[in-house]
Structure 1
Amino acid sequence: MPDVPDRAADVAAAVLAHPDIARLDGGPFGTVASYRPGRRRLLGVRIGAGDEPVELAVVVRLGTPLPQLAEELGAVVRGVLGPVPVEVTFSDVVSAPGPAAARPGGDRPDP
């Protein structure tokens, strides 16, 4: 089975493929993140340990009702990881894709 950073990257790619997702976000205080080799973080996806839920924080495009979008994103995550609980934080809603949409997960080094 792939390790957590690989699985988090797979989840990030699948979530970003959803047409209503503009980008991933770190959520409140940047806490929705997975740690990767080289002290890098993948913002927007946190895979919990044990029975903790997978957490997503996303910026969405205006359109789909948020409860419906949360269900769709849960299904996307379960398509990658199997039957897991999923919590979604909608960090912002935008009317059009921004330049940050091309940066999956907002990788950046920790301070």
Structure 2
Amino acid sequence: MPPGVEDPADTVAALTRAVPGVAGLHPGMFGEVATYLPGRRVSGVRFTDSGLEVHIVVWADAPVRRTAALVRESVAAAVPGAPIDVTVEDIATRDQPAGAVDAG
């Protein structure tokens, strides 16, 4: 990929993190939810033969279902036509230490 051009997984991750209520991306129970790229991985985003999976952590004061729906709507513009499954893996509180929320 040419310099300065993002991978679709990076775009999905950035769009997801920008949704109000999203505390971060989540790599799944065993770190299995990721897109593997040369020399790195994008945790919490996985493209499959049947669509796209996005795994998130939601702030405790955010409406869970609405936040997941907003993620789906936001990402749909970047991945038109693909089924998007959003899984809420965890709930975070605002008093968690920096870096403890987004595992992505």
TM range (shorter): 0.7 to 0.9
Could you say which structure has the higher helix fraction?
Answer: 1
What RMSD, in angstroms, separates the aligned Cα atoms of the two structures? 2.3
Q: May I ask how many residue pairs the two structures share in their alignment?
A: 99
Q: Letter of the 1:99 partner, please give it.
A: A
Residues 60-69 or 26-35, more deviating: 60-69
1:28 offset after TM fit, Å? 2.4
Kept in 1: contact 2:58–2:67 (CA 8 A):
no
Identity %: 35
Scaled by the length of structure 2, the TM-score of the pair is 0.80
| Structure 2 residue matching 1:56: 3-state secondary structure | strand
How many angstroms apart in 1 are the aligned matches of 2:66 and 2:81?
A: 19
How many angstroms apart in 1 are the aligned matches of 2:100 and 2:47?
A: 22
Scaled by the length of structure 1, the TM-score of the pair is 0.76
For structure 1, list consecutive stretches of 5 or more residues without a partner in the other structure.
Answer: 107-111
- Residue 61 of structure 1 is matched in structure 2 by 59
For structure 2, list consecutive stretches of 5 or more residues without a partner in the other structure.
Answer: 1-5
Kept in 2: contact 1:10–1:80 (CA 8 A):
yes
